[in-house]
Chain A
Amino acid sequence: MKKAYLMGNEAIGLGALAAGVNLVSGYPGTPSTEVLETIAAHNDDGRIHVEWSTNEKAGMETAAGAAYAGARTLVTMKQVGLNVATDPLMSLAYIGVEGGMVVLVADDPGPISSQTEQDTRTFARYAKLPCFDPSSVQEAYDMIQEAFEFSEKYHTPVLFRPTTRVDHGYASITIKTPAEYTRHEPKGFARDPGRWVIFPRLSLRAHGAIEHRNAELTQVSSLYERNRLIPAARPVIRSGIVAQGVSWTYLAEALHEFRSEHASELPRQLKIAMPFPFPEELAVEFMHDLDEILCIEELDPVIERELTYICGKYHLPVRIRGKLTGDITAAGENTRDSVYAAVVKFMDWQAAPARTLPQPPLAVVRPPVLCAGCPHRASFYAVKLAMKGQKCLFAGDIGCYTLGNAMPLDMVDTCLCMGAGLGIAQGIRAADPGTKCFAFVGDSTFFAAAIPGAINGVYNQADFILVVLDNSTTAMTGHQPHPGTGHTMMGEVVEKVSIEKTLAGIGIKTIRTVDPLDLEKAVATVRDVAAEPGVKAIIFRSPCIALVTPRGRAHIDADQCRQCKKCIREIGCPGIVIEQGRVTIDASQCTGCGLCSEICPFDAIDVTLDPRGVRLKAKGWPPRQPAAGRQDSADSKGGDQ
């Protein structure tokens, strides 16, 4: 054993290594991404198969296949990724596994960087799969190892659902040394069509067996030591508080603050670490002789509903408070402050005096924006110029380029989920034929989710312009490789999957590739392509500025500049600022993309190009540096990893 200061996701990755994981797959998505990256960074001998899959469904199926063959497998994704992988997982719940298989789904209360506030604990009940819900970095490390054991013991995939504050929290924790790791050797796939081929007859049998097993697992869950009952300070106390995940740690902090003032009044507490199958016997024990219970949980009122159900089943006269009674917020994350306030109110204690601050002099808002020099800005601007005056629909998608919605670009009319923009564009065009419909999609999203939509358009005679914003990386989640990058997480250099050839293979006749930073050519290309009928495609190809050295730097000629601010009004680049009333290039941000110089009506902006040209920044791409690597300087700017 040793101590280490780790991010929750690093701890989970190391926990999987300690459990002898043989295969890890997944698709990047905040807040889950670092788990797989940590495992890849510790896979120098290549003993573990680690892959970024094209999407979550592919990742789920790969992990399932390996688990059929007895491997211990982990598949990682964020909560909306589980929607993509739901089809294989629902059936896999019936089929089961041979080797331990953990499905890591990171939930995002808030939501901080997600489209939905869905709760994987609710999904667990729907899919009838056991679910582990860690509350801290240390617990996440220990629990993922238990999850593998549990999965293997009961021959079922299990869900492991940390939330953002566990994934991205840091703590000094106790971990195993590699010498203490479990070694697990897959036995190989044993052919048995009666077990591995899903048919209605098998499904009926499996369904019955699962219901029977889950009924038994409520007892196992009651004995699981992380489902923890803490007695009240005195037996006469008739209040209880139940919590899960990070809310449990917020509860611990709140009660710690009152540990001396209300030492003899501390309530009975219950932590739920396995919400499904729910620890029914333990819950009955917890509720015995209580008058009132407060349920503190995030996302769905899973525990609250379970307790309400158990109260009815066992005729327990307990009043249950929580989300359904308005005592805990229905949407958004819990905080130290919200849990403190809920506990104070529930226990009828006196809150520490809070200080009210006067209104600040002005509100300085900093919405996220596309980086200075980001090629997406140029792509959106080219389409905007080319289509000026025409009735258009700009369907966006999931990635950095969703930020194209910000003023002044204002080029995203819709955004739904990964790859949805293609279908949305087709549907709007069908319902509103006078509109030119564009679907913008990033390169990683293209491979993950856009190809069926493109085929749908070709087959069903749609009329829209597919715009692939190819910056040669999965930028939003911290620059992961994908099928178009020519690199794998095993460190191999492989043939790139070509977006052009993929589209041509589908039958799209007009496919034009253009550098968006060449504004004139980009605008002309959009005009030409948009005028054609049917499904046609433009690929704007220019690397993410975080991957390459700057082209150069822009300068403003003070004599030529008339301070018209057109550059600022048109493209909203963070590299152009106003200092002492004058338009100025922020040299620390400018990458010399030159877009502003093409816009300036007075030729006041020049770009000095770096004579060395544009070079790859990241050495040894793809990044496989150890998690606690050295940094180039005392600068932590590093994208969104």
Chain B
Amino acid sequence: MQKNIILTGVGGQGTVLASKLIAAASLAKGYEVMSAETIGMAQKGGSVFSHLRVGDELYSPMIRRGTADLLLAFEPAEAVRMLPYLKPDGTLVVSSHPIMPVTAALSGTDYTGSEMIEYLKREVSDIHVFDGAAAASEIGNPKALNVIMLGAALASGALDFLTADDLLTAIRAKVKPQFVALNERALRYASEKGI
């Protein structure tokens, strides 16, 4: 078994913790894991990504273009940026809610996110789109986005080597007790809504 996963978004959206949760759940099941992520200057409001690999015979944490099984994108323009990594029959889970770059506020660029989603729909057959920001406000906390995205990845079938319980165990070990219930709701959101 070998799974190549790319997580991407904008600094502050919580992609790194989502990556760590998949890693922790995979390790607990006895899989080997390697990962790499953006660290440093690029994090400040910039594009961020994680390469995450689970399974046998891993030599490098980095993923070659066209070989990712799952692209988990927290933001539509970032999904487009990392799309070259997805293999032709790979799964794309993407939140449709756009994050405006500071440059857009300055230049008045009319980026809405929907043009990116249309592009992604044309290029990817196994695509799962939903508004992650709306989901997070429904759950009651904008910071729940990363666990909602994890739940959507699980519901897509692309994380078939893990169960919701595996991820919940990892979540319980990583977050404070008062946030566990919120994260459980966030994880189940996608499957309950049929995303």
Identify the A interface with B (CB < 8 A).
3, 5, 30-31, 112-113, 136-137, 165, 168-172, 246, 249-250, 252-253, 256, 335-337, 340, 352, 354-355, 357-358, 360-362, 364-371, 400, 403, 407-408, 476, 568-569, 572-574, 576-578, 588, 630-637, 639-641
Contacts and interface: CB of A to CB of B under 8 A. Distances in A.
Q: 4 shortest A-B CB distances, which residue pairs?
A: A636-B17, A364-B77, A249-B60, A252-B59
Contact of B23 (A112, A170, A366): A170
Nearest to B115: A361
Contacts of A576: 105
Contacts of B11: 637
Nearest to A579: B100
Interface in B20-55: 20, 23-24, 27, 32-37, 39-47
B15 interface: yes
Contacts, number: 194
B40 A5 contact: no
B106 A568 contact: yes
Interface string B48-89: 000000000111111111100000000001001101100010
Contacts of B88: 355
B21 to A, nearest CB: 9
A170 B175 contact: no
B45 A336 contact: no
B142 to A, nearest CB: 6
A631 B175 contact: yes
Contacts of A637: 11-12, 14
A578 B103 CA distance: 11
B16 interface: yes
A357 B111 contact: no
22 contacts: A3-B27, A31-B40, A112-B40, A136-B60, A169-B35, A171-B61, A246-B60, A252-B60, A336-B65, A354-B65, A360-B119, A364-B80, A364-B101, A364-B116, A403-B44, A572-B102, A572-B106, A574-B45, A634-B146, A634-B175, A636-B15, A639-B43
Given A246-B60, A370-B44, A639-B43, 5 more contacts: A169-B35, A256-B59, A354-B66, A634-B171, A636-B16
Contact of A634 (B14, B33, B105): B14
A408 B60 CA distance: 40
Q: Which of A31, A252, A636 has the most CB of B within 10 A?
A: A636
B161 to A, nearest CB: 15
Nearest to B179: A633
B144 A352 contact: no
A31 B33 CA distance: 21
A588 B142 CA distance: 9
Contacts of B65: 336-337, 354
A368 B66 contact: no
A168 B36 contact: yes
B143 interface: yes
Contacts of A407: 106
Contact of A253 (B64, B66, B81): B64
B190 interface: no
B100 A577 contact: yes
Contacts of B103: 365-367
B116 A361 contact: yes
Nearest to B171: A634
B193 interface: no
B104 interface: yes
A368 B46 contact: yes
Q: Which of A253, A361, A366, A578 has the most CB of B within 10 A?
A: A366
A406 to B, nearest CB: 8
A366 B84 contact: no
A335 B85 CA distance: 13
Contacts of B12: 637
A572 B17 CA distance: 28
Q: Which of A137, A246, A358, A631 has the most CB of B within 10 A?
A: A631
Contact of A172 (B33, B44, B108): B33
A255 to B, nearest CB: 9
Nearest to B34: A171
A369 B34 contact: no
A368 B10 contact: no
B16 A632 contact: no
Contacts of A400: 44
B62 A631 contact: no
A370 B18 CA distance: 25
A604 B67 CA distance: 51
B175 A630 contact: yes
A335 B37 CA distance: 14
A354 B118 CA distance: 22
Contacts of A113: 40-42
Q: Which of A171, A568, A641 has the most CB of B within 10 A?
A: A171
Nearest to B36: A169
B84 A364 contact: no
Contacts of B32: 171-172
Nearest to B187: A634
Given A574-B102, A633-B175, A634-B144, A362 B109 contact: yes
B174 interface: yes
Contacts of B62: 165, 246, 250, 335-336
Q: Which of A31, A256, A364, A639 has the most CB of B within 10 A?
A: A364
Contact of A360 (B34, B61, B116): B116
B147 interface: yes
B17 to A, nearest CB: 4
B91 interface: no
A379 B61 CA distance: 41
A298 B23 CA distance: 28
Given A170-B23, A366-B101, A367-B103, A340 B64 contact: yes
Contacts of B118: 361
B42 A368 contact: yes
A640 B64 contact: no
Contacts of B43: 368, 639-640
A366 B47 contact: yes
B10 A366 contact: yes
Nearest to B145: A634
Given A168-B39, A357-B84, A634-B17, A577 B60 contact: no
Contacts of A362: 109, 111, 115
Contacts of A635: 14, 17, 143, 146
A578 B112 CA distance: 11
A350 to B, nearest CB: 15
Contact of B106 (A5, A246, A408): A408
A207 B21 CA distance: 53
Interface in B116-148: 116, 118-119, 123, 141-144, 146-147
Contacts of A352: 66
B183 interface: yes
Contacts of A112: 40, 42
A148 B17 CA distance: 34
Nearest to A370: B44
B176 A633 contact: yes
Q: Which of A136, A407, A633, A637 has the most CB of B within 10 A?
A: A633
